[in-house]
Amino acid sequence: MNYLEFKQKMFKPACFNINQIYAWQPHFDKNNLTRWIKKGLLLRLKQGYYTFPEYKNIPGYSYYFANRIYKPSYISLHTALSFYGIIPESVVQITSVSSQKTALFKNEIGEYSYKTVKKELMFGYALIKQSDSQAIQFAEPEKALLDLLYLYPFYNTVQEMKELRLDEDFLNDDLDIDKMKEFSDRFKNKALTKRVKLLFEAYEL
């Protein structure tokens, strides 16, 4: 098999794994992948997952890959908060939440971090489509905030909440307080409930 034939078949999925290749070509020579990576014709996202270098420059695909290379997961925490404009910082590392173990992957697209929560806390996310990319699982703003407070418990005073520098226009105009309280109750975590109250106090919500 030549590279052009391979690319014609595998380009559209954007992110593919070795099992998808074997499903199409059971006798595929895996050494082709190593050779094409060395030539810059393919990128390895993590062991067994690949993409084409063209996707480095297409908006949205760095997020899409976060969903694809580690399942189940959804983008949350600092990445989601930055995406919604809730925090002022632009975020380099793409942060996600997963029911699998904590993981970190680095590749030519970026750095992907996954924090662990229990399976019953895998809720509060929605599919968002960006540009021509596939639909991406993003935490809703309320869940992204709760994931942050749950996974980073050192935010436990009014002053530390203020140091998050959350966008007050967003909090006052767009944040669904009732949804956040409902989501918070589903955690069944007293410490989180306390931190949510401190957040509301800090930003007078």
Q: Residue 98 carries which side chain, given as an amino acid letter?
A: S
In the chain, what percentage of residues exceed pLDDT 70? 99
Q: Judge if 7 and 108 occupy the same domain.
A: no
Among 37, 57, 77, which residue terminates a domain? 57
Q: Judge if 53 and 65 occupy the same domain.
A: no
**pLDDT grade for 59, boundaries at 50, 70 and 90:** confident
Q: Residue 16 carries which side chain, given as an amino acid letter?
A: F
Under 8 Å CB-to-CB from 174, ≥6 apart: which residues? 141
Q: How many CB atoms neighbour CB 197 within 10 A?
A: 13
**pLDDT grade for 198, boundaries at 50, 70 and 90:** very high
| Average model confidence (pLDDT) across the chain | 95
Q: Judge if 20 and 110 occupy the same domain.
A: no
Q: Judge if 107 and 121 occupy the same domain.
A: yes
Place of tokens 């084409």: 52
Q: Judge if 128 and 103 occupy the same domain.
A: yes
pLDDT at 133: 63
Among 38, 57, 76, which residue terminates a domain? 57
pLDDT at 20: 95
Q: Judge if 44 and 108 occupy the same domain.
A: no
What is the per-residue pLDDT across 85-134, written as a single tens digit (0 to 9) for each? Answer: 999 887 889 999 999 999 999 999 999 999 999 999 999 999 998 767 68
Place of tokens 């924090």: 115
Q: Judge if 86 and 185 occupy the same domain.
A: yes
The C-alpha atoms of residue 3 and residue 7 are separated, in whole angstroms, by 6
Total domains, the chain:
2
The C-alpha atoms of residue 43 and residue 17 are separated, in whole angstroms, by 12
Q: Does the pLDDT value for residue 138 go beyond 70?
A: yes
Q: Judge if 84 and 178 occupy the same domain.
A: yes
> Two tokens at 71?
């399942």
Nearest to 102, CA basis, from 47, 151, 150, 45: 151
Place of tokens 């908060």: 81
Q: Judge if 38 and 65 occupy the same domain.
A: no
pLDDT at 64: 95
Asked if 128 and 136 count as a contact pair (C-beta separation under 8 A), the reply is yes
pLDDT at 90: 79
Q: Judge if 40 and 105 occupy the same domain.
A: no
DSSP string, 110-147: -EEEEEE--GGG--SEEEEE-TTSPEEEEE-HHHHHHH
Q: Judge if 39 and 95 occupy the same domain.
A: no
> Two tokens at 148?
């942050």
Asked if 180 and 196 count as a contact pair (C-beta separation under 8 A), the reply is yes
Per-residue pLDDT averaged across 139-152, rounded?
98
What is the per-residue pLDDT across 9-57, written as a single tens digit (0 to 9) for each? Answer: 999 999 999 999 999 999 999 999 999 999 999 999 999 999 999 999 8
Q: Judge if 40 and 139 occupy the same domain.
A: no
The C-alpha atoms of residue 205 and residue 11 are separated, in whole angstroms, by 47
Q: β-strands 125-129, 111-116: how paired?
A: unpaired
pLDDT at 89: 80
**pLDDT grade for 150, boundaries at 50, 70 and 90:** very high
The pTM for the full model equals: 0.93
pLDDT at 172: 95
Domain that holds residue 97: 61-202
